[in-house]
Amino acid sequence: MKLQLLFFGIVSDVLKTSSLEIELANTCSVQHLKAQLVAMYPVLKNMDSYAIAVNETYATDTTTLQENDVVAIIPPVSGG
């Protein structure tokens, strides 16, 4: 299953990319994807408060991902 990942803010800075296409063996949940990302990029373990959006809609850990979904990794935003 192919997924398009979009990274924003500090996540894109740390990973040095704003997008990535990955392939997973099966359909999975957002929680499983998070675990896969931490395995691929251990630095994300320290950034556990980011939000996930799937196809431009905020998702929960139990959201099931499908082939060709676009998944955005959105870190907390602060400012004034």
pLDDT tens-place string over residues 34-65? 999 999 999 888 876 789 999 999 999 999 99
* Annotation: CATH topology of 2-74: Ubiquitin-like (UB roll) (3.10.20)
Q: How far is CA 55 from CA 67, 73, 79, in A?
A: 11, 11, 26
Smallest CA-to-CA distance from 59 within 68, 72, 46 is with 72
Q: How confident is the model at residue 77 (pLDDT cuts 50, 70, 90)?
A: confident
pLDDT of residue 79: 59
pLDDT of residue 46: 81
